[in-house]
Amino acid sequence: MTQPPKTPLLDKVPYPADLRKLEDRDLPQLAREVRDEMIDAVSKTGGHLGAGLGVVELTIAIHNVFNTPEDRLIFDVGHQCYPHKILTGRRDRIRTLRQEDGLSGFTRRAESEYDPFGAAHSSTSISAGLGMAVASDLDKTDRRVIAVIGDGAMSAGMAYEALNNAGALDARLIVILNDNDMSIAPPTGAMSAYLARLASGRTYMGFRDFGKKLTAYLGKNVDRAITRAVEHARGYVTGGTMFEEMGFYHIGPIDGHSFEHLLPVLRNVRDHANGPVLIHVVTQKGKGYAPAEAAADKYHGVNKFDVITGAQAKVKPNAPSYTSVFAETLVQEAELDDKIVGITAAMPNGTGLDKLASVFPSRCFDVGIAEQHAVTFAAGLAAEGFKPFAALYSTFLQRAYDQVVHDVAIQGLPVRFPIDRAGFVGADGPTHAGSFDTTFLATLPGFVVMAAADEAELKHMVRTAAAYDAGPISFRYPRGEGVGIEMPVRGEILQIGKGRVVKEGAKVALLSFGTRLADCLLAAEDLDAAGLSTTVADARFAKPLDHDLIRQLARHHEILITVEEGAVGGFGSQVMQFLAMDGLLDGLKIRSLVMPDVWMEQAKPEVMNAHAGLDRAGIVSTVFKALGRGLAVGVAG
């Protein structure tokens, strides 16, 4: 006989306080409802699916056992927080995830008191949690701090810096290692192999054994010195795990989909632990949704999809994506030059380096989520005469800035930096926008900084970078597809520091750096039609600047506008500095169009460019304003 359907629980638990009123036996049903809700929401918005599905039980268990938001719950990366959002008063807005004016796809302090720490870049949770645990100690509160971090995020150095510090401080911090044996791609590295050994070598820890052990070792009444001695002895005798050696009480592995495992362990830790604890929880990415479980990437990030079949909406591209042009050109150049090697920091698919890996597996390195290491590793290869392409997203390169400065630039090493996702990225919002790379790279002596205006230019830049051995060189290109321009069979080697005039005019000069060129050309049509003869130039280089080109534009036009999809301090500022020092500013009307000096929220990139005034209309209106003309008058000529 089939069971009658149970009354939905989710409607009764808008907040964790309500969830804490449920019986333990109700929680599996709640988990099923949260999963269904999440699958339905993401099928409409697109977004991160697999990671959240894997932590449904864990999220419910944590909110059930701990007193959130007073107890602080921090999700590393934050891409697995959709179940958390559903359970923390945001269910009514869950179908606005990642949309303009909607919920963020990550945790955000500004969004909810249940998000005590914002994230999106990985491996920060243990550091932030430690800060909060120490604050709680200093404030003499009884607050617990829980950091949930994935096995992929555990490949970053920062996680170990934090563990190292937490062990030494003996802080009351709970780290939950959510081990689903996946990063975005399958995880790489010795640590991943170590976790797999831990997970397979031990059977799941029964809560009775564990409870006894924990109370014995960490019981509140046990003197800390004795506790430490016992722990130490235990480690010594059994060999201990790495986490134990670092001063953590290490529990696990436990089954992260079983409330029978999760609840007693978490309750025990809540009630008895007074030093750092690491709970190793084994979960399955994509759990509970067959298409996700079956997919190679466990549906890490998805477009809108059909819930029944799992089939994702496919947008028919008009042109190849910049990423694929980069990846194919790199393979083409690598076939001709065996010194070319590729490096990715856990993004083989996102950067397109999986293509290089499939052709030259021994010349492509996935170093894990370890951007700092990726850059210095590339520097080592360059020092030995190799031609490393360290392919990173603009936003993640930020993390490796000192390595770029100290290990690469100061030593003048020819590391090539393909910078993907430059400019607005859309749904991922301000944490992922590629805003600052031109600013922070063009300020470095000896760096060559390029931006591709279209996909053919990108092909030239890959070849130029491969051929350039005199020092570091970067080239930026955006997310998404190119403009559909005809592609050369092979890229050309560009002359370093030389831009190009794309369209000649006489009164207005638009000087573009990167893919805003297309909008500059459209704006030029409007301006020409309004009687303002317009020159459009593609700078190609923010460093070294094409001084002759800039001088010529400044001297022979009434107004010069620089346009770039980057923050203030980048290309436009370099141009302005040059013009000022060259004495060319007098009498020239110059305007610099950049991203606005605010953290812009998620929206479609074209909408963000329009808000920023970086699109066709924005460029035209800037010209009219600079000339003191109203838009309507201007358009009428």
Ligand X SMILES: Cc1ncc(C[n+]2csc(CCOP(=O)(O)OP(=O)(O)O)c2C)c(N)n1
Residues known to be catalytic: 285, 371, 399
What the block records as the tokens of 534 is 């317009």
- Cα torsion 299, 195, 346, 149 to 10°: value is 70
Q: Cβ of residue 230: shortest distance to ligand X, in angstroms?
A: 32
3-class SS of residue 593: strand
For ligand X, the binding residue among 80, 192, 323, 609 (CB under 6 A) is: 80
**Which residues are CB-neighbours of 475 under 8 A, at least 6 positions away?**
417, 418, 419, 450, 451, 452, 458, 461, 462, 464, 465
Contact flag: residue 517 with ligand X (CB under 6 A): no
Beta bridge partners of 404: none
In a 10 Å sphere around its CB, with 0-12 CB exposed, 13-18 middle and 19+ buried, how is residue 290 labelled?
exposed
Q: Cβ of residue 519: shortest distance to ligand X, in angstroms?
A: 29
Contact flag: residue 369 with ligand X (CB under 6 A): yes
What the block records as the tokens of 211 is 């409870």
Closer of 68 and 395 to ligand X (Cβ): 395
Maximum Cα–Cα distance for the chain, whole Å? 89
For ligand X, the binding residue among 77, 379, 408, 415 (CB under 6 A) is: 77
For ligand X, the binding residue among 56, 346, 364, 465 (CB under 6 A) is: 346
What percent of the residues of the chain are helix, what percent strand, and what percent coil, each to the nearest 5? Answer: 45, 15, 40
Q: Cβ of residue 300: shortest distance to ligand X, in angstroms?
A: 6
Binding mask 270-289 vs ligand X (x if CB under 6 A, - otherwise)?
---------------x----
Q: How far apart are CA 202 and CA 224, in angstroms?
A: 27
Query: Running DSSP on this structure, what letter comes out for residue 118?
Result: -
Q: Which stretch binds ligand X (CB under 6 A): 97-105, 178-186, 444-452, 550-558?
A: 178-186
CA 517 to chain centre: 26
Q: Cβ of residue 397: shortest distance to ligand X, in angstroms?
A: 10
Contact flag: residue 403 with ligand X (CB under 6 A): no
For ligand X, the binding residue among 396, 417, 447, 513 (CB under 6 A) is: 396
Q: Cβ of residue 144: shortest distance to ligand X, in angstroms?
A: 22
Closer of 77 and 509 to ligand X (Cβ): 77
For ligand X, the binding residue among 127, 180, 512, 562 (CB under 6 A) is: 180
Pairing between strand 589-593 and 559-564? parallel
Cα-Cα end-to-end distance for the chain: 80
CB 536 within 8 A of CB 588: no
Closer of 312 and 411 to ligand X (Cβ): 312
Closer of 35 and 300 to ligand X (Cβ): 300
Contact flag: residue 128 with ligand X (CB under 6 A): no
Stretch 13-52 residues interacting with ligand X (CB under 6 A) = 51
- Of 300, 342, 343, 55, the closest CA to residue 186 belongs to 300
Closer of 41 and 461 to ligand X (Cβ): 41
Q: Cβ of residue 371: shortest distance to ligand X, in angstroms?
A: 6
Total of residues contacting ligand X (CB under 6 A)? 23
For ligand X, the binding residue among 147, 182, 466, 550 (CB under 6 A) is: 182
Q: Cβ of residue 344: shortest distance to ligand X, in angstroms?
A: 10
Q: How far apart are CA 382 and CA 374, in angstroms?
A: 12
Closer of 80 and 394 to ligand X (Cβ): 80
Q: How far apart are CA 261 and CA 481, in angstroms?
A: 47
**H or E stretch covering 361:** none
Q: Cβ of residue 511: shortest distance to ligand X, in angstroms?
A: 33
For ligand X, the binding residue among 85, 98, 261, 399 (CB under 6 A) is: 399
What the block records as the tokens of 524 is 């030029």
Contact flag: residue 394 with ligand X (CB under 6 A): no
Stretch 134-153 residues interacting with ligand X (CB under 6 A) = 150-153
Q: Cβ of residue 382: shortest distance to ligand X, in angstroms?
A: 22
Closer of 357 and 527 to ligand X (Cβ): 357
Q: Which stretch binds ligand X (CB under 6 A): 73-81, 191-199, 240-248, 598-606?
A: 73-81
Closer of 207 and 396 to ligand X (Cβ): 396
3-class SS of residue 238: helix
Q: Which stretch binds ligand X (CB under 6 A): 2-10, 179-187, 200-208, 317-325?
A: 179-187
Q: How far apart are CA 201 and CA 538, in angstroms?
A: 59
Q: Cβ of residue 106: shortest distance to ligand X, in angstroms?
A: 9
Closer of 273 and 370 to ligand X (Cβ): 370
Closer of 151 and 244 to ligand X (Cβ): 151
**Which residues are CB-neighbours of 538 under 8 A, at least 6 positions away?**
453, 457, 499, 500, 502, 512, 513, 517
For ligand X, the binding residue among 79, 416, 421, 543 (CB under 6 A) is: 79
Contact flag: residue 121 with ligand X (CB under 6 A): yes
3-class SS of residue 418: strand
Q: How far apart are CA 524 and CA 505, in angstroms?
A: 9
For ligand X, the binding residue among 176, 184, 343, 560 (CB under 6 A) is: 184
Query: What angle (nearest 5°) sits at the alpha carbon of residue 499, between those of residues 496 and 505?
Result: 165
Beta bridge partners of 448: 473
CB 436 within 8 A of CB 394: yes
Residues at the contact surface with ligand X, assessed by CB under 6 A: 51, 54, 77, 79-80, 121-122, 150-153, 180, 182-184, 285, 300, 345-346, 369, 371, 396, 399
